[in-house]
Amino acid sequence: MRQELLIEIFSEEIPAQLHRRAISDSAAVFTSILKSYGASFSSVTSFVSPRRITLRVQLLVQRTKDISEQKRGPKISAPQVAIDGFLKSNQKEKSDLIELDGYYYLHVEIEGREIKTLIGDMIEDFILKMPWPKSMRWYLNDQKTLSAFWIRPIRSILCIYDDEPIEVYVESVGITTCDYTYGHRFLAPGKLEIIDFEDYFEKLAKSYVALDYFKKREYIFKEITKLAATMDLCVAQDDDLLDEVAGLVEYPFVHIGTIEEKFMKLPDAVLSTSMKVHQKYFALIYQDSVVSPFFGAVTNIPNTDVMRIGMDRVLKARLSDAAFFYKEDLDVTLEAFAQRLSNVVFHERLGSIVQKIDRMMSIANTRDEHRAIALCKADLPTQMIGEFPELQGVMGEIYARQQGETQSVSLAIREHYKPTSASDNLPSSLTGARIAFFDKVDTLVGLLGVGIHPTGSKDPFALRRTALGIIRILCDFEKDVLCGETLSWYIITLITAYSDQGVALAPTTLADVQRFAIERLKTHMEDKLGIDPDVIEAVIHSYNSLEFNYKAAIEKANVLSALIPTPEFQMVKEAYRRASGVIIERQRLPQDSVASLEFENIHMTNLRNSVMKQEKLPQDFDVSVRTARALLDACDNVLINDADAAVRKRNILLLNQFVMLIDTNFGVLSFLRSS
């Protein structure tokens, strides 16, 4: 007995774009379920293919552990009804209660159970808890009711534990588990009786079902690459298409097809997008990245002459449509298309795209920026974008170049949508980066200003992604996108531009946008850059919100992260702690006021001189260390709370100045107190 549990939920086709996520989600959900039952196991592995989700649990001990624990209940001061409910739910008497730290506790012993008796409940839990983005129900004839929600109707459930079939009735979907599954829908549709996972994997492979999604994905790319190489071609890298194709087929068969020569006059982006969107074909390219008259196709069954003729016919029809749209669009200038944008709504409460463009114009500087902004959305009314929305900006650049716009303007039109995700490239030009920044800030200001905020995991207007795009442009772009201004200046200017158009935004819009952007920065610093949350808070709180510098904040956080483990930083922290324990109210003094403070004690005089050097070199950590040492010397040798009120006031004023300087350089008080 290998203590192995095998479960397969066999259903109608699972949408291809969900496979990758379903693999990780299903393993995580079932792991959580096993732990909730107190089961002991070594690993949970998940597999997803078009018609099945498979779970393999290894070293699943046959019996759950006996549990003996102190279970906390309501507070001692809680109403009697709450206490009675706690006793009733645990089948205990009042005499069993234990009072500890203001709460009632019960000593609870839970006897372990046989895993076989729990598997049915585990499957029910899994079906109910699996987080599909969209799901459906279907009618159960035997029960005369609807099933539980699942991605597609479930047809059978395979369940084997310790090499033995487990037969349980899963009420939520009206199915009794069994010891068989099915092969490829067309090539080997017969029933396959299963003994264990190795038998299951081997029989599926012989029945044209590639169970491992990632190996199947790798195989597809490898085979297309191999065929393309025989023609001195390469496969255009497209991970999204590869993910989708791997999810479409139970077993991949790879072929090379041909594009008619007359369609090769179309722009490469049109060719590759048309093949990808409509046919799920891979563009094959020459060494210089130019699209060739060939494509890679993946099918669920072997290729035949009939299939090949059909594929060519359908592709010809699709490319004919694309060629027609392209020709029709070229007969109209981008300026003429831009005039139609007054009828394209940006948001029902924020006006049209034309109004958005006018607002962006109000914060532009150069001639190229103004021209690129005027045309950046002009491709939206084109027929090509109506057919392929994913080509927004791309077609704008192509049409701009065709109509004689400069390279700077044309490139900015395409790049102003970037970055579209955390992994997307930034714009390559300053003009493109600036317009991308304008576009995203305008969107954030408008939508947050009318009260549209993300709630939980729901973010229909992608505001989090928009804010992350702003942060990446500010922090990662090689040049100063702000041109010497602050983000707050752009926000305020856009709020005014909205007001001039008659759009009233909330009075808190400036603070809301700043807060939202900074929260995204904190997430970016923690998740992507690996910076400690306490360090992030320290840096964030060291800035005035109106003058917040996103790029400098990351740099400061990195410096602070490197300094924290050092003895010198611990000295600064100890000095800060001692100084902040004396002062009551922080108030920065002008530098000449610090210079005017006179002390009879040499240690306080040294501290004053060090503080003044710190004023001149606020980012010099060595100066901060020397200042901290001077402060510690002063605190060790001077009675800060001197009996003389005037001396005491001067001492505290100077300590206050030290605390304010360290706040500016190293962040919030709570961080230095606790770290």
**Interval 335-344: pLDDT, tens:** 999 999 999 9
Phi (first) and psi of residue 377, to 5 degrees: -110, 5
> Is the pLDDT reported for residue 578 higher than 80?
no
Collect all residues with Cβ–Cβ distance below 8 Å to 339 and sequence separation of at least 6: none
Residue from 340, 338, 327 nearest 376 by CA: 338
Residue 39 tokens read as: 């089961």
Average pLDDT, the chain: 89
Check residue 668 and give its pLDDT: 43
Check residue 431 and give its pLDDT: 97
Let me know the angle formed at the C-alpha of 613 by 610 and 619, rounded to the nearest 5 degrees: 110
Of 52-61, 108-117, 173-182, 559-568, the poorest mean pLDDT is in 559-568
Of 53-57, 283-287, 492-496, 575-579, the poorest mean pLDDT is in 575-579
DSSP string, 531-551: --HHHHHHHHTTS-GGG--HH
- The answer to whether 119 and 166 are in contact (CB under 8 A) is yes
Give helix then strand counts, H and E, for the chain: 26, 20
Q: What average pLDDT score do residues 522-530 get?
A: 91
What is the rounded (10 degree) CA torsion for 425, 429, 434, 437?
0
> Is the pLDDT reported for residue 27 higher than 60?
yes
Domain range summary for the chain, segments of one domain joined by +: 5-63+116-206, 76-110, 213-330, 335-555, 564-674
- The answer to whether 640 and 584 are in contact (CB under 8 A) is no
Rg of the chain (C-alpha set): 33
> Is the pLDDT reported for residue 525 higher than 50?
yes
Reported as a single tens digit per residue, the pLDDT across 339-373 is 999 999 999 999 999 999 999 999 999 999 999 99
Enter the DSSP assignment of 265.
Answer: G
- The answer to whether 454 and 463 are in contact (CB under 8 A) is yes
Look at phi and psi of residue 42 and say left if phi exceeds 0, alpha if psi is from -120 to 50, else beta.
alpha
Higher pLDDT, 543 or 478: 478
Check residue 670 and give its pLDDT: 41
End-to-end CA distance of the chain: 51
Reported as a single tens digit per residue, the pLDDT across 209-239 is 999 999 999 999 999 999 999 999 999 999 9
Residue 153 tokens read as: 């109707």
Enter the DSSP assignment of 65.
Answer: P
**Long-range CB contacts for residues 510-513, cutoff 8 Å, separation at least 24:** 511/545, 512/448, 512/449, 513/441, 513/444, 513/445, 513/448, 513/449
> Is the pLDDT reported for residue 439 higher than 90?
yes
User: Residue 129, Cβ neighbours under 10 Å: how many?
Assistant: 13
Q: What average pLDDT score do residues 77-99 get?
A: 87
How many whole angstroms separate alpha carbon 272 and alpha carbon 277? 9
- The answer to whether 78 and 102 are in contact (CB under 8 A) is no
How many whole angstroms separate alpha carbon 92 and alpha carbon 105? 11
Check residue 153 and give its pLDDT: 97
Reported as a single tens digit per residue, the pLDDT across 279-317 is 999 999 999 999 999 999 999 999 888 888 888 889 999
> Is the pLDDT reported for residue 157 higher than 70?
yes
3-state secondary structure of 292: strand
Q: What average pLDDT score do residues 10-28 get?
A: 96
Q: What average pLDDT score do residues 130-157 get?
A: 95
> Is the pLDDT reported for residue 543 higher than 90?
no
- Burial bucket for residue 608 (CB in 10 Å: 0-12, 13-18, 19+): buried
> Is the pLDDT reported for residue 147 higher than 80?
yes
Check residue 623 and give its pLDDT: 62
Q: What average pLDDT score do residues 51-62 get?
A: 96
Reported as a single tens digit per residue, the pLDDT across 253-278 is 999 999 999 999 999 999 999 999 99
3-state secondary structure of 213: helix
Q: What average pLDDT score do residues 232-248 get?
A: 95
User: Residue 180, Cβ neighbours under 10 Å: how many?
Assistant: 15
Check residue 587 and give its pLDDT: 55
Confidence class of residue 588 from pLDDT cuts 50, 70 and 90? low
| Residues paired with residue 55 on neighbouring β-strands, in sequence order | 7, 46
- Residues 111, 113, 118, 119, CA torsion sign: positive
Confidence class of residue 631 from pLDDT cuts 50, 70 and 90? confident
Higher pLDDT, 255 or 668: 255
Confidence class of residue 120 from pLDDT cuts 50, 70 and 90? very high
Collect all residues with Cβ–Cβ distance below 8 Å to 190 and sequence separation of at least 6: 182, 183, 207
Check residue 669 and give its pLDDT: 40
Residue 527 tokens read as: 């998740």
DSSP string, 350-367: TEEHHHHHHHHHTT--SH
Check residue 291 and give its pLDDT: 96
Q: What average pLDDT score do residues 318-323 get?
A: 96
> Is the pLDDT reported for residue 411 higher than 70?
yes
Residue from 667, 514, 504, 497 nearest 576 by CA: 667
Confidence class of residue 487 from pLDDT cuts 50, 70 and 90? very high
- The strand ranges marked E within 362-492 are none
As a whole number of angstroms, the longest Cα–Cα distance in the chain is 103
Residue from 385, 485, 376 nearest 432 by CA: 376
